[in-house]
Amino acid sequence: MKLHNISFGNISRRKGRMLFLVLGLVIGISTVVTLLSMTDSMTRDIEQKLNQFGANIVMVPKTENLALSYGGIDVGGVNYSARELDEAKLADIKTIKNSKNLSIVAPKILGSVTVNEKKVLLMGVLFEEEIALKTWWHKSEGVFPQKENEVMLGAEVASQFGLKAKEAIFISGEVFTVAAILNPTGASEDNAVIAELGAAQKLLGKEGKISMVEISAFCQGCPISELTLQIAEKFPEAKVTAMKQAVMSKMQSIEMFQSFSFGVSIIVILIGSLLVFVTMMGSVNERTREIGIFRAIGFRQSHVMQIILLEALLLGIIGGLLGFVLGNLIAWGLIPIVIKDSTFAGINLPLGVVSILMAVALSLLASLYPAFKAGNMDPSEALRAL
C-alpha cells in the first residue's frame, strides 16, 4: 500500500464522479484544440489559394529608370533594354533562411524578336514552374511545349499571324513548332511568343541571363516582407518587391481570427480551471470524514496533500486526453461547415502532448488550495463529522 494506491482506487472505483471532475478540463482543452485546428486549416486553405494567385514576390535587376507604364499601358521608356541577372546565381535563393517557404521560383528572359518582319515580345520561361504559377493559363488548342523547339503563342500573336497549333513559325530566322495557343488572359502574355528559357536565351544572345524572377512564397510564421528582405540580401544587384496586397489582407483576417481564438481560449481555460477548483473543493469537503480517518490513522498533512494532488495529476492526464480527442472530433465535424471548401487538417500529435501538459498544469494549479485545505483540516473537527 502506497499513497498512490489510494488515489488510483478513488479514481478507478468512482468513475462517474471523476468524469464530472474532469469535465472542466475537457471543456477547456477541447475548445483550445478545436480553435487551433480551425486556424490551422484556415492557414492551409489560404496557403493553397495564395498559390493560385500567382507570384507574390518579383525580382528584377536594379535600374536607374522609373517605369513608364500603368495597368499594361506603356507611355514609352526603355523596356527591353533592361539589365539582366545571372541565371547561375539564382540557385542561391535556396540558401535563404526561409527557403522552404518558397513554393515556386519562375525565372524568365524577355526580349524582342522578329516574326514575319514584325517585332514581337519573346518570353523564355521554365514551363514547369510557369504553368504551376499561372494557374489562369489555359490553352485553346495543342499541348504545352515539351521540347526546346516548341513554342506557345499568346492569343493576340496567334491571331495577328494567323497561326494554329502544330504549324511552323520562323523566329529570327529559326524554325519552331507552335505547340499550343493560349486563351486571352488580358495580360502581357497575349502579345508574347513563349519559348523554353534555354532556347529563348540563345535566340536573344543572352545565354545564362534572366530578366526577372517571379516567386510564389508563403510563410505562416513570418511576414512576406521578411522573406523579401532575405532574398534581397542574397541578390544585392536585384530589386525585390513584395506584392503585398493579396497576402496582407488574407493574413490579416487570419491574424484576427487567431487573436480571437486566443482570447476565447483564455476565457474558456479560465472557466475550466474555475470549474476544476470548485469541484475539487467540493470533493475535499465531501471527503472531510475520509480525510479525518487518514489523519487519525497517522497520515501527515503532507500525505493528505499528496493524495489530493496525485488525483489532480491523474485527472489532468485523463482530462487532457479526452479534451484532445473531443477537440479533434469537433474540429473534424465543424471545419467543413464553418470554412467553405476546407477539410480537417489532421491530428496534430505535438498539440496532443501540449494539451495533456496544459491540463495537468491547470488541474494541479486549481487543486493546490483544496489540497492545502485538506491537509490542514483539524482531524478532530473532521472526525466530528463522523
Partner 1 sequence: MKREMKMTEDVDHLIEVSGLKKTYQSGDTSVDAIRNMDFFIDDAEFVTIMGPSGSGKSTLLSIMGALNHPTMGKVLVDSLDIYALNAEQRADFRSDYIGFIFQSFQLIPYLTVLENVKLPMAVTGRKKKIQDQMAEDVIERVGLTAKAHRLPDQLSGGEQERVAIARAIVNKPPIILADEPTGNLDSKTAGDIMNLLQSLNRDGHTVIVVTHNPDMEAYAGRTIRVQDGECFT
Binding residues (CB under 8 A) for partner 1: these are 1-3, 5-6, 9-10, 13-14, 289-290, 293-303, 379-380, 383, 386
Could you tell me the smallest distance in angstroms from the CB atom of residue 254 to partner 1? 49
d(C-alpha 307, C-alpha 372), whole Å: 11
Could you tell me the smallest distance in angstroms from the CB atom of residue 294 to partner 1? 8
- CA neighbor of 352 nearest in space, from 22, 24, 45, 32: 32
Between 239 and 289, whose beta carbon lies closer to partner 1? Answer: 289
Between 365 and 383, whose beta carbon lies closer to partner 1? Answer: 383
d(C-alpha 32, C-alpha 55), whole Å: 34
Could you tell me the smallest distance in angstroms from the CB atom of residue 288 to partner 1? 12
Between 6 and 227, whose beta carbon lies closer to partner 1? Answer: 6
Amino acid at 46: I
Could you tell me the smallest distance in angstroms from the CB atom of residue 313 to partner 1? 17
Between 204 and 305, whose beta carbon lies closer to partner 1? Answer: 305
Between 235 and 294, whose beta carbon lies closer to partner 1? Answer: 294
Could you tell me the smallest distance in angstroms from the CB atom of residue 386 to partner 1? 6
Could you tell me the smallest distance in angstroms from the CB atom of residue 341 to partner 1? 51
Q: Kindly report the three-state secondary structure assignment for every residue of the chain.
A: CCHHHHHHHHHHHCHHHHHHHHHHHHHHHHHHHHHHHHHHHHHHHHHHHHHHHCCCEEEEECCCCCCCEECCEECCCCCCCCCCEECHHHHHHHHCCCHHHEEEEEEEEEEEEEECCEEEEEEEECHHHHHHHCCCCCEEEECCCCCCCEEEECHHHHHHHCCCCCCEEEECCEEEEEEEEECCCCCHHHHEEEEEHHHHHHHHCCCCEECEEEEEECCCCCCHHHHHHHHHHHCCCEEEEECHHHHHHHHHHHHHHHHHHHHHHHHHHHHHHHHHHHHHHHHHHHCHHHHHHHHHCCCCHHHHHHHHHHHHHHHHHHHHHHHHHHHHHHHHHHHHHHCCCCCCCCCCHHHHHHHHHHHHHHHHHHHHHHHHHHHCCCHHHHHHCC
Residue whose C-alpha cell is 476546407: 342
Could you tell me the smallest distance in angstroms from the CB atom of residue 304 to partner 1? 9
Between 16 and 76, whose beta carbon lies closer to partner 1? Answer: 16
Could you tell me the smallest distance in angstroms from the CB atom of residue 4 to partner 1? 9
Between 111 and 375, whose beta carbon lies closer to partner 1? Answer: 375
Could you tell me the smallest distance in angstroms from the CB atom of residue 384 to partner 1? 9
Between 8 and 144, whose beta carbon lies closer to partner 1? Answer: 8
Between 60 and 371, whose beta carbon lies closer to partner 1? Answer: 371
Q: Kindly report the three-state secondary structure assignment for every residue of 203-247.
A: HHCCCCEECEEEEEECCCCCCHHHHHHHHHHHCCCEEEEECHHHH
Between 5 and 63, whose beta carbon lies closer to partner 1? Answer: 5
Could you tell me the smallest distance in angstroms from the CB atom of residue 372 to partner 1? 14
